[in-house]
Amino acid sequence: MITITEQATDKIKELLEAENIPNLFLRLGVKSGGCSGFTYGMGFDEDQSADDIEYTIHGLKVVVDADSSKYLNGLEIDFKEAAMGGGFTMHNPNAIATCGCGTSFRTAEDAGKPNPEQC
């Protein structure tokens, strides 16, 4: 299960509308890299495979590839406004270590392949 706050969902929907491409959805994923071993992937996509896991969260279509789903189970995404702009935050209960940039993590079962140049 993945949770996206209403504020984050509203921001994602706003960004999707600006793209003006039919059938576009949010894709979440994880790949090796970053300071801690894994990095989050979050972007828009319009291609879906049979192995993808699909969620509907606050009316937003969210797709996760099957390999990433074990690392994202329980993930909470929020959006915070700040004086210097805003940004999405990730709270992942599977992460036992994260790096300062907040986009890299590792789990108790898997350390990934760290790449400090990506941080």
Domain CATH code at residue 52: 2.60.300.12
Q: Which helix (H) or strand (E) holds 34?
A: none
What is the reported pLDDT for 111? 57
> How many domains, the chain?
1
User: 101 lies in which domain range?
Assistant: 3-109
Q: How far is CA 9 from CA 6, 62, 75, 97, 110, in A?
A: 5, 10, 14, 26, 29
Residues 49-104 pLDDT 10s: 999 999 999 999 999 999 999 989 999 999 998 777 778 888 888 886 676 655 66
Q: Which residues contact 85 (CB under 8 A, 6 or more apart)?
A: none
